[in-house]
């Protein structure tokens, strides 16, 4: 069994992005710019936004963070996005989710220029991905594919089971696996005999958002397990906060798996690395340049 080191892989991607940023600056006289919009003070979102801003600067890009109060109305938020759509310094726009309940996330995402949609959530990018055209691809599934290709090289003919059907991870993950010639099954909470289905998989991608739902005896011996979930358990007696776990029962699954991502330290670091990659790609396309090589 091998542990898939997402931190190390992310560091490699970020180093290549930094090289690409330097080359882009030399060609164009400017750095790529990423704008992040945070509405409200959700603690987890605030941490993510700080991490993204730090990583953006470390890559040599410009970082623009817009923090809005939780009671911001929809028109104000949409007006800010329109302003960022028209800002020549901004190549990528990311609106941190989840939004406060009174805001319509679908409407907000639809307002983002698809060419600047570095989260890959706009329906135009989703549609382009689904028909195999160039698109800005959601960062988490793109990071998962990167880890799988590092592990296997060629994914052709492997049976992948994706547990979860969200627009953010499950569906784009399936499309990316299909583009690598894997045979793909999407499973979900209504799937009949889910354990038996997962046991057929050479690759298991767990992205269902339920702590330790995928048990060890669901895993086919030697399968590669990519755990997208991040869930905090209730604290045990004497603990300040509960530990973080994935959607896979790691201790149970580890003896069965050929390779597995830990939580934390697996998929998570790849998400930010691919956000930087998407911003650099968006900058190239906006300047009429070929996509950067090696990314």
Q: Which positions are annotated as active-site residues?
A: 52, 96, 119
Query: Are 72 and 41 in contact, with CB atoms under 8 Å apart?
Result: no
Phi, then psi, of 160 in degrees rounded to 5: -110, 130
Buried b (16+ CB within 10 A) or exposed e, 259-286: bbbbbebbbbbbbbbbbbbbbbbbbbbb
3-state secondary structure of 117: strand
Helices of type H across the chain: 6-28, 43-58, 74-85, 105-111, 123-130, 139-152, 170-179, 194-198, 250-253, 267-286
Helix 139-152, helix 170-179: angle, nearest 10:
40
Rounded CA separation 201/93 (Å): 36
**Which residues pair with residue 34 across a beta bridge?**
63, 92
- Whether omega for the bond prior to residue 264 falls within 30 degrees of 0, making it cis, is yes
Beta bridge partners of 186: 162
Q: What are 274's two structure tokens?
A: 């691919």
| CA distances to 34, 57, 75 from 104, in Å | 22, 30, 11
């Amino acid at each position: 069994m091998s542990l898939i080191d997402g931190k190390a892989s992310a560091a490699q991607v970020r180093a290549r992005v930094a090289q690409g940023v330097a080359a882009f600056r030399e060609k164009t006289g400017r750095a790529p710019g990423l704008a992040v919009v945070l509405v409200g003070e959700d603690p987890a979102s605030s941490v993510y936004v700080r991490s993204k801003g730090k990583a953006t600067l470390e890559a040599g890009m410009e970082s623009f963070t817009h923090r809005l109060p939780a009671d911001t109305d929809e028109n104000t938020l949409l007006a800010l996005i329109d302003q960022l759509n028209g800002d020549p310094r901004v190549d990528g726009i990311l609106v941190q989710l989840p939004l406060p309940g009174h805001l319509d996330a679908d409407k907000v995402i639809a307002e983002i220029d698809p060419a600047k949609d570095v989260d890959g959530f706009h329906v135009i990018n989703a549609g382009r991905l689904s028909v195999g055209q160039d698109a800005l691809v959601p960062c988490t599934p793109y990071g998962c594919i990167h880890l799988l290709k590092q592990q296997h090289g060629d994914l052709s003919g492997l049976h992948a089971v994706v547990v979860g059907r969200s627009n953010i991870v499950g569906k784009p993950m399936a499309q990316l696996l299909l583009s690598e010639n894997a045979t793909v099954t999407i499973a979900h909470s209504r799937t009949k005999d889910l354990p038996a289905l997962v046991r057929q998989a050479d690759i298991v991608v767990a992205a269902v958002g339920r702590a330790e739902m995928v048990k060890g005896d669901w895993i086919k011996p030697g399968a590669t397990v990519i755990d997208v979930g991040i869930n905090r358990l209730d604290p045990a007696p004497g603990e300040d906060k509960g530990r973080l776990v994935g959607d896979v029962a790691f201790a149970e699954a580890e003896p069965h798996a050929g390779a597995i991502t830990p939580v934390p330290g697996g998929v998570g670091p790849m998400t930010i690395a691919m956000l930087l990659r998407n911003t650099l790609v968006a900058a190239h396309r906006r300047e009429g340049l070929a996509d950067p090589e090696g990314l």
